[in-house]
C-alpha cells in the first residue's frame, strides 16, 4: 500500500516538474545547448527531491532512512548537475571552435574531435566550401579565357572594318574576303555567346527540359542531316547505324544539341576521307547513343578532362583557329546529366568513341 502511494505521489510531482521544465526549455529554446542540459539535470534533481520531500513530510519514511535517502538524492543531484555543466561547456566550446574555423579567412578545414552531430556539420561544411571554391575557380578561369577568346577575334574584325572604312583595301577580292571573314567571325562569336548562355543556365540548374517520348533513331537522322554540309566540306564520311527505334523520355532540342556537339567535334578531329559513325542502340537496358571518329585517339592524360569547362587540349589557346572555346562537351555533359544520363569517352580503333547513356522509356 505504502509503495503504491509513494509511486503515485512521486509520479504526480514528477509530471508537474517535467511540465515546468519543458515550459522553461520552450522559453529558452534559442539559448545554448549548455543551458538546456542544465535544465534537464535540474528537472531530474527537482523531481526526485520533490518526491522525497513529499514522502518525508507525510512521514512515510523517517529517521535514518529519511536522512539516507535525502543525502543520496542530494549527492546524486549535485553529480548530475556537475556532469551536465561539464558536458554543456564541451558542447559550447566545440561549437565555438566550429564557428571560429568557419570565420577564419582562407581555406576552411573541419576541426576534429567534435561531438558527432557537430562533426557532421563541420565535415559537410568543409565539403561544400571546397566545392564552392572549385566552382569559383572554374568560373574565374572561364571568364578569363572567354574574354581572351572574344578579344582576339574582335581586334581582327576591327582592323578589317577600319581597313574597309578608310579605303585602305580597294581591290574587289580583298574587300569580299574581309566581308566574309567578318561575317564568319560574327557567327562564331554569336555561337560562343549562345554556348556561354546555355552553360550558365546549366550551372544555375535552370535548364528547363520539356521532355517527351522520342526515338533516338530520329534524333540521329536529324543530327546527320544538320551536320552533312560540314562533313562534306571537310571530306568526312558520315554514316549511321540506327536500326531500332530506342525510345527515351527526353527534350529533343536539348539532346539534339548535345549530340550535335559530339558530331561536330568528331568531324572536326577526323582527317579527310575518315569516317564518323553515329549509332543508336539498346545496351544492357539503357539507351545508347555513340559517335565514333578517326581522330587518332585522345591523349590518355586528356581523356578525363575533355568534359571540363573551357578545356581544349591545347596548351596555347588559338581562338582564331577553327577550334571552339572548349564549352561544347561541358554543355553536352550538362544536358545529358539533366536527363539522368551518363556521358563518357574511350579511345577505340582509329579514333575515339563518345557515348551517351540514357534510361529507356
Ligand atoms: N571527337 C574528338 N576527337 C578528338 N578530340 C576531341 C574530340 N572531341 C573533343 N575533343 C577534345 O576535347 C576538347 C573539348 O571539346 P569541346 O568541349 O567540344 O570544346 P571545343 O570543341 O570548343 O574545343 C577539344 O578541344 C578536343 O581537344
Ligand atoms: Mg566542340
pLDDT band at 70 (very low <50, low <70, confident <90, very high): confident
Better-scored residue on pLDDT, 184 or 144: 184
Long-range CB pairs of 105-109, under 8 A, 24+ apart, other chains included: 107/133
Collapsing DSSP to helix, strand or coil, 166 comes out as: coil
Q: Is 324 in the pocket of ligand 1 (CB under 6 A)?
A: yes
Joined grid coordinates for residue 31: 539559448
Query: Could you read off the pLDDT of 185-206 as tens digits, one per residue?
Result: 999 899 889 999 998 889 888 8
Residue 294 has pLDDT above 50, yes or no: yes
From the CA of 214, how far away is ligand 1's center (Å)? 27
Q: Is 290 in the pocket of ligand 1 (CB under 6 A)?
A: no
pTM of the model: 0.69
Mutate to test the pocket of ligand 1, among 196, 265, 308 (most ligand atoms within 8 A of CB): 265
Better-scored residue on pLDDT, 179 or 136: 179
Q: Check residue 217 and give its pLDDT.
A: 94
pLDDT band at 8 (very low <50, low <70, confident <90, very high): confident
- The CA angle 19-23-24, to the nearest 5 degrees, is 120
From the CA of 306, how far away is ligand 2's center (Å)? 10
Q: Check residue 67 and give its pLDDT.
A: 82
Tell me, what DSSP letter sits at residue 303? G
Of all atoms in ligand 1, which is nearest to the CA of residue 354? 1
Q: Check residue 316 and give its pLDDT.
A: 54
Query: Could you read off the pLDDT of 77-131 as tens digits, one per residue?
Result: 888 888 888 888 888 898 898 898 888 887 888 888 888 988 999 999 999 999 8
Q: Can you name the CATH fold of 212-359? A: Heat Shock Protein 90 (3.30.565)
In 10 A of CB 19, how many CB atoms?
A: 11
Architecture of domain 137-203: Orthogonal Bundle (1.10)
Joined grid coordinates for residue 52: 522525497
pLDDT band at 320 (very low <50, low <70, confident <90, very high): very low
Average pLDDT for 164-175: 93
From the CA of 265, how far away is ligand 1's center (Å)? 6
Query: Could you read off the pLDDT of 228-262 as tens digits, one per residue?
Result: 999 999 999 999 998 888 999 999 999 999 999 99
Better-scored residue on pLDDT, 321 or 2: 2
Q: Is 329 in the pocket of ligand 1 (CB under 6 A)?
A: yes
Q: Is 313 in the pocket of ligand 1 (CB under 6 A)?
A: yes
Distance CA 339, CA 359 (A): 8
Q: Is 265 in the pocket of ligand 1 (CB under 6 A)?
A: yes
- Confirm if 268 and 236 have CB atoms less than 8 A apart: no
Per DSSP, the residues of 73-97 read: HHHHHHHHHHHHHHHHHHHHHHHHH
Calculate Rg over the CA atoms of the chain.
36
Q: Is 310 in the pocket of ligand 1 (CB under 6 A)?
A: no
From the CA of 306, how far away is ligand 1's center (Å)? 6
Mutate to test the pocket of ligand 1, among 276, 312, 325 (most ligand atoms within 8 A of CB): 312
pLDDT, mean over the chain: 89
From the CA of 265, how far away is ligand 2's center (Å)? 5
Q: Check residue 317 and give its pLDDT.
A: 54
Q: Is 306 in the pocket of ligand 1 (CB under 6 A)?
A: yes
Joined grid coordinates for residue 152: 582576339
Nearest CA to ligand 1 atom 19: 326
From the CA of 275, how far away is ligand 1's center (Å)? 17
Q: Is 323 in the pocket of ligand 1 (CB under 6 A)?
A: yes
From the CA of 300, how far away is ligand 2's center (Å)? 18
Where do the domains of the chain lie?
2-103, 137-203, 212-359
**Polymer length in residues for the chain:** 361
Torsion angle of the four alpha carbons 184, 185, 187, 191, in this order, in degrees rounded to the nearest 10: 140
Amino acid at each position: 500500500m505504502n509503495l503504491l502511494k509513494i509511486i503515485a505521489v512521486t509520479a504526480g510531482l514528477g509530471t508537474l516538474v517535467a511540465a515546468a521544465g519543458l515550459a522553461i526549455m520552450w522559453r529558452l529554446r534559442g539559448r545554448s545547448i549548455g543551458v538546456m542540459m542544465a535544465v534537464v539535470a535540474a528537472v531530474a534533481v527537482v523531481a526526485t527531491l520533490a518526491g522525497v520531500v513529499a514522502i518525508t513530510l507525510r512521514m512515510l519514511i523517517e529517521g535514518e532512512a529519511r536522512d539516507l535517502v535525502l543525502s543520496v538524492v542530494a549527492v546524486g543531484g549535485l553529480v548530475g548537475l556537475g556532469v551536465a555543466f561539464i558536458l554543456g561547456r564541451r558542447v559550447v566550446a566545440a561549437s565555438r571552435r566550429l564557428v571560429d574555423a568557419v570565420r577564419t579567412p582562407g581555406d576552411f578545414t573541419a576541426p576534429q574531435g567534435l561531438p558527432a552531430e557537430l562533426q557532421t556539420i563541420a565535415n559537410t561544411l568543409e565539403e561544400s566550401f571546397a566545392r564552392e571554391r572549385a566552382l569559383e575557380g572554374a568560373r574565374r578561369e572561364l571568364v578569363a579565357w572567354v574574354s581572351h577568346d572574344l578579344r582576339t577575334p574582335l581586334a581582327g574584325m576591327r582592323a578589317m572594318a577600319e581597313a574597309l572604312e578608310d579605303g585602305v583595301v580597294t581591290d574587289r577580292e580583298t574587300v569580299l574576303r574581309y566581308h566574309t571573314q567578318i561575317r564568319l567571325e560574327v557567327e562564331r562569336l554569336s555561337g560562343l555567346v549562345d554556348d556561354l548562355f546555355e552553360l550558365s543556365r546549366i550551372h544555375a540548374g535552370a535548364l528547363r527540359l520539356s521532355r517527351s517520348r522520342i526515338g533516338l533513331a530520329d534524333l540521329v537522322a536529324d543530327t546527320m542531316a544538320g551536320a552533312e554540309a560540314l562533313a562534306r566540306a571537310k571530306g568526312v564520311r558520315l554514316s549511321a547505324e540506327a536500326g531500332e527505334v530506342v525510345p527515351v523520355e527526353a527534350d529533343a532540342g536539348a539532346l539534339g544539341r548535345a549530340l550535335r556537339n559530339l558530331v561536330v567535334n568528331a568531324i572536326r578531329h577526323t582527317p579527310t576521307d575518315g569516317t564518323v559513325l553515329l549509332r543508336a542502340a539498346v545496351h544492357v537496358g539503357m539507351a545508347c547513343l555513340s559517335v565514333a571518329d578517326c581522330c587518332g585517339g585522345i591523349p590518355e592524360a586528356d581523356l578525363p578532362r575533355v568534359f571540363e569547362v573551357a578545356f581544349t587540349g591545347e596548351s596555347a589557346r588559338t581562338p582564331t583557329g577553327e577550334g571552339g572555346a572548349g564549352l561544347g562537351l561541358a554543355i553536352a555533359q550538362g544536358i545529358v546529366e539533366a536527363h539522368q544520363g551518363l556521358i563518357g569517352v574511350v579511345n577505340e580503333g582509329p579514333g575515339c568513341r563518345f557515348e551517351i547513356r540514357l534510361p529507356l522509356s
